[in-house]
A and B are shown apart, each in its own frame.
Chain A
């Protein structure tokens, strides 16, 4: 049913992507490819309170990496550190490094705005702007100074197709985004993030406010998106992590307890704590 909404149209570039999405093998790309993001010895403080302790993690390109762990363990914090959204909070401090394609995110000559363009973010609570659907999708492009109506319209369609929303809204893209349903809004936020063609899409519990059908749509979408994008997703839903991700990191109390291929984490975890959490013995 989800694939039906993604009916390929031979005239759009989405076509190739969709085809790839269906024909691509379920397994991740070669494991020995260099990682896109490399987190090394990373610690993070909110004022005096340390939220992350010495994290080491590699995120592979065109793969879905899931962060799981009990509430308050620092998943969102780490995710936000990946596009420096934490800079907005007063008194934060970082140690260690986050390298994206070898470049240190926290280096002295890094343009934060550029970082956020390259690493898009989808929030737990959908946050469409009080503007039309069209204006929401092209917001990022307008920021970059794109004015050409045709370019914007093409990009809008591409992004909406990419987020499997096109067929539902194509007749009403001038209407307010706030007239959409909760699931549609979340997919709109994904489209908005995709429109600027980021390298990485960071998703913080994107389905936590949605019903099972909307959740299933987004999971299907994630599955397709990983052909073009690198995805990092925070989730509380074990099944979701198991279904959509290639690799999973388990966090607890600000520490990365275990990080491995998803099937390894879910079938034969090395750590007792991971196993207890996955089997629902705590958390």
Chain B
């Protein structure tokens, strides 16, 4: 029977054997088709699964890059004749408190008529200036007093219905000017020593009013007010004021366009510490205010420019104002300001009715909201930073919904140097949580990427030479019997859980290395030297002696040599330490090189993680070396090459694509490795290439911080972004590696 007959379709008179052949053919075709489809489907589903993971990760990180959005809500028209000065809203944005020239107006935002609050403490005076302060509003009065008012909303449920009752309580007024002149502008802060009031009443001076409250055991609280006058001299009249809640400095913006700082380090005699021209052209400063945390000073001027400043220490320890950011300017004089109470965001308004949302750390303007055209006189960022309310000279209360969950994130803050509050200069910082409420999360991924690359670099520095040389020896020189034993052993190393390696690295290796670091660092010199010496001695031996060790078993002789080399290196190291390094290498490191020695450092990680990546590099490299066709090495040997020459000139280049993949696979493993870097480094997110300092890798960072990160928060999403970055890094490296490998392979293609 011929196969062509069997495959002829529809052959009526086929023999049974031929028919069996046809059936067999059909089964074969079906099996073939099934296998093809099955393999294809499996491949596609794996790719789909990976893509799905990628999409999930990217989906969580995505909102970080969404821009801020705002939606204007219908404006509330205030009663005719109202001159609003400042505004404040409650947490739920249902009630607004508007300071007007006549007192305080309660404005329900969800419908209902505005009503005037009962404020008997006004005592017939009118309000000349107003500001938002902690817990409420403060009103500067025409009779030289400043009246702090607490504003709150009580929620009650009479008859099961939710009812909001605004509550306004006036505190004891502070007397800014006993002479009773109207308060033009003021600043009030609650310092640890009691309220501190700075007010402008007369020309070219600032009056400073400190209230000390002493509670005696009997007789209740006594209140003592003391007044100081700060002369502005030639700097101009005070047109804006600010005091921080530490009571450290008093800032006065002047009509001459300067910011004058009075240092209250000696509270009994505050002195004019410096006077800084803000924009150089003398435009009057119209606004001073602090961002959340009272460290960054926002300065607005009559020309509409907005900048942020910070008091920093110079090298000699002197404090001075330093400019941090300039923001997109307003077209008209800056009139209002309100900080976000959650982060370093703030809003500024101007005389043309525009409102701008900004972010202090990034220096970015996030939103530019047009108004109704009338000058805005007061603005407030809602307590949850989810809305803005502003009052304008036209007697309107404007409102916006704001959605901006991650204002602190930008490419700059994630990857660039950022000048954070309290820092003397811009830096890369990762510090996600802090002790205080006004703490600002510093989420620079750069130190983490640096840490990841540093750990990878040091571990590959350890692993690549060892693994590749081992692979070359195993593939080219080792006796097959020994290889059959050794290769699986090394492969088992790969199965060692990395948590065990991290544990050993952190708890045993780190302290051991600390004792023997100089010796360990000498090992890469001493061991090869001793090995070469041993080999030279061995080849000098008579051939009959050498025959004791069969070909391919020379390794057995080298093991004690290497161990002896290690011991020798440690011995030399301690000798060097006591002779040349003054007995303690750590003190020497600090004094001579300025490096500090952390116990859990990059050397520990290099060795521990090197140990983890050696097996994979070794296995892949050995496989590719061993699969170089025998004919090539035979050809080389037949031309009079030694085995070493053959290995280096023919086998190694031919296997180079595989060796390259091996190193790249090792790289990928080291980049993604988590447990070892978590346990064997101090996890300090510093950027420093020193072998003796620790680092924090992206993977370890995710492991450490994700359980603590509130879901949906900025930190949470930034951690997902880090995961995406890790994914991207391994993807890019692997793809690049594959491309290079394919190129190399076509270059060193061996026809087979």
Contacts of B631 in A (CB 8 A): 123, 125, 127
Q: Is A127's CB under 8 angstroms from B640's CB? A: no
Q: Is A129's CB under 8 angstroms from B638's CB? A: no
Contacts of A233 in B (CB 8 A): none
CB distance from A61 to the nearest CB of B (A): 21
Interface of chain B, main secondary structure: helix
Q: Is A130's CB under 8 angstroms from B639's CB? A: no
Contacts of A178 in B (CB 8 A): 749-751
Cα of A88 to Cα of B634 in the assembled complex, Å: 9
Binding site for A on B (CB under 8 A): 479-480, 543, 551, 629, 631-632, 634-642, 645, 649-650, 653-654, 747-751
Residue of B with least CB distance to A142: B649
Q: Is A130's CB under 8 angstroms from B747's CB? A: yes
Q: Is B640's CB under 8 angstroms from A130's CB? A: no
- Is the C-beta of A196 less than 8 angstroms from some C-beta in chain B? yes
Cα of A142 to Cα of B637 in the assembled complex, Å: 13
Residue of B with least CB distance to A192: B639
Contacts of B636 in A (CB 8 A): 129, 139
CB distance from B230 to the nearest CB of A (A): 84
Cα of A159 to Cα of B751 in the assembled complex, Å: 24
Q: Is B634's CB under 8 angstroms from A127's CB? A: yes
Q: Mark A187-200, 1 if CB is under 8 A from B, else 0.
A: 00100110010000
Contacts of A142 in B (CB 8 A): 649
Residue of B with least CB distance to A182: B751
Contacts of B641 in A (CB 8 A): 113, 139-140, 143
- Is the C-beta of A211 less than 8 angstroms from some C-beta in chain B? no
CB distance from A107 to the nearest CB of B (A): 12
- Is the C-beta of A148 less than 8 angstroms from some C-beta in chain B? no
Cα of A142 to Cα of B631 in the assembled complex, Å: 20
Please indicate which of the listed interface residues A85, A114, A131 has the most CB atoms of chain B within 10 Å of its own CB: A131
Q: Assuming A130-B654, A130-B749, is B639 touching A140 (CB within 8 A)?
A: yes
A127 CB contact (under 8 Å) in B479, B543, B551, B635: B635
Cα of A85 to Cα of B631 in the assembled complex, Å: 12
Contacts of B480 in A (CB 8 A): 90
Q: Is B638's CB under 8 angstroms from A130's CB? A: no
Cα of A125 to Cα of B629 in the assembled complex, Å: 11
Residue of A with least CB distance to B629: A127
* Given A127-B629, A129-B635, A189-B635, 16 new contacts (CB under 8 A): A85-B637, A116-B638, A116-B640, A123-B631, A123-B634, A125-B631, A129-B632, A130-B653, A130-B654, A143-B640, A143-B649, A176-B747, A178-B749, A192-B639, A196-B639, A196-B640
- Is the C-beta of A108 less than 8 angstroms from some C-beta in chain B? yes
Provide 8 A-B residue pairs closer than 8 Å at the C-beta atoms, listed in order of the A residue: A83-B638, A117-B639, A127-B631, A129-B632, A130-B749, A143-B639, A143-B645, A178-B751
A129 CB contact (under 8 Å) in B543, B642, B645, B650: B650
A121 CB contact (under 8 Å) in B629, B638, B654: B638
Residue of A with least CB distance to B750: A130
Contacts of B634 in A (CB 8 A): 85, 88, 123, 127
- Is the C-beta of A120 less than 8 angstroms from some C-beta in chain B? yes
Residue of A with least CB distance to B646: A143
Q: Assuming A129-B650, A130-B654, is B640 touching A113 (CB within 8 A)?
A: yes
A116 CB contact (under 8 Å) in B637, B650, B751: B637
Q: Is B543's CB under 8 angstroms from A108's CB? A: yes
CB distance from B201 to the nearest CB of A (A): 91
Residue of A with least CB distance to B748: A130
- Is the C-beta of A144 less than 8 angstroms from some C-beta in chain B? yes
Q: Is A120's CB under 8 angstroms from B637's CB? A: no
Q: Is B637's CB under 8 angstroms from A193's CB? A: no
Contacts of A130 in B (CB 8 A): 632, 653-654, 747-750
Number of interface residues of A (CB under 8 A): 29
Q: Is B642's CB under 8 angstroms from A113's CB? A: yes
Q: Is B640's CB under 8 angstroms from A144's CB? A: yes
Q: Mark A105-127, 1 if CB is under 8 A from B, else 0.
A: 00010000110110011010101
List 7 tightest A-B contacts by C-beta distance, closest first: A117-B640, A127-B631, A121-B638, A140-B639, A130-B748, A127-B635, A116-B640
Cα of A114 to Cα of B641 in the assembled complex, Å: 9
Contacts of A117 in B (CB 8 A): 639-640
Cα of A88 to Cα of B641 in the assembled complex, Å: 13
Residue of A with least CB distance to B639: A140
Contacts of A128 in B (CB 8 A): 635
Contacts of A125 in B (CB 8 A): 631
CB distance from B545 to the nearest CB of A (A): 14
Contacts of B653 in A (CB 8 A): 130-131
Cα of A248 to Cα of B635 in the assembled complex, Å: 26
Residue of B with least CB distance to A143: B641
Contacts of B654 in A (CB 8 A): 129-130
Contacts of B750 in A (CB 8 A): 130, 178
Contacts of A176 in B (CB 8 A): 747
Contacts of A108 in B (CB 8 A): 543
Cα of A197 to Cα of B719 in the assembled complex, Å: 67
Contacts of A88 in B (CB 8 A): 634, 637
Contacts of A189 in B (CB 8 A): 635
Q: Is B639's CB under 8 angstroms from A120's CB? A: yes
Please indicate which of the listed interface residues A113, A127, A142 has the most CB atoms of chain B within 10 Å of its own CB: A127
CB distance from A239 to the nearest CB of B (A): 27
CB distance from A146 to the nearest CB of B (A): 12
Tell me which residues from 74 to 124 in chain A have a Cβ below 8 Å from any Cβ of chain B. 83, 85, 88, 90, 108, 113-114, 116-117, 120-121, 123
Contacts of A83 in B (CB 8 A): 638
Please indicate which of the listed interface residues A121, A139, A189 has the most CB atoms of chain B within 10 Å of its own CB: A139
Q: Assuming A90-B480, A176-B747, is B632 touching A127 (CB within 8 A)?
A: yes
B639 CB contact (under 8 Å) in A90, A114, A131, A139: A139
Cα of A197 to Cα of B650 in the assembled complex, Å: 21
Cα of A241 to Cα of B458 in the assembled complex, Å: 62
Cα of A176 to Cα of B743 in the assembled complex, Å: 14
Contacts of A196 in B (CB 8 A): 639-640
Cα of A114 to Cα of B479 in the assembled complex, Å: 24
Cα of A143 to Cα of B641 in the assembled complex, Å: 6
Contacts of A143 in B (CB 8 A): 639-641, 645, 649
Cα of A114 to Cα of B635 in the assembled complex, Å: 15
Tell me which residues from 34 to 72 in chain A have a Cβ below 8 Å from any Cβ of chain B. none
Contacts of B751 in A (CB 8 A): 178
Contacts of B638 in A (CB 8 A): 83, 85, 116, 120-121, 123, 193
CB distance from A66 to the nearest CB of B (A): 20
Contacts of A131 in B (CB 8 A): 653
Residue of A with least CB distance to B643: A88
Contacts of B479 in A (CB 8 A): 90
Cα of A266 to Cα of B14 in the assembled complex, Å: 52
Cα of A3 to Cα of B629 in the assembled complex, Å: 35
CB distance from B543 to the nearest CB of A (A): 7
CB distance from B315 to the nearest CB of A (A): 59
Residue of B with least CB distance to A189: B635
CB distance from A191 to the nearest CB of B (A): 11
Cα of A16 to Cα of B636 in the assembled complex, Å: 30
Residue of B with least CB distance to A125: B631
Contacts of B640 in A (CB 8 A): 113-114, 116-117, 140, 143-144, 196
Cα of A121 to Cα of B639 in the assembled complex, Å: 8
CB distance from A56 to the nearest CB of B (A): 25
CB distance from B747 to the nearest CB of A (A): 7
Residue of B with least CB distance to A116: B640
Contacts of B635 in A (CB 8 A): 123, 127-129, 189, 192
Q: Mark A238-250, 1 if CB is under 8 A from B, else 0.
A: 0000000000000
Residue of B with least CB distance to A136: B635
Residue of A with least CB distance to B633: A88
Cα of A123 to Cα of B639 in the assembled complex, Å: 12
Cα of A85 to Cα of B646 in the assembled complex, Å: 14
Contacts of A90 in B (CB 8 A): 479-480, 551
CB distance from A117 to the nearest CB of B (A): 4
Residue of A with least CB distance to B481: A90
Contacts of B650 in A (CB 8 A): 129
CB distance from A270 to the nearest CB of B (A): 34
Residue of B with least CB distance to A90: B480
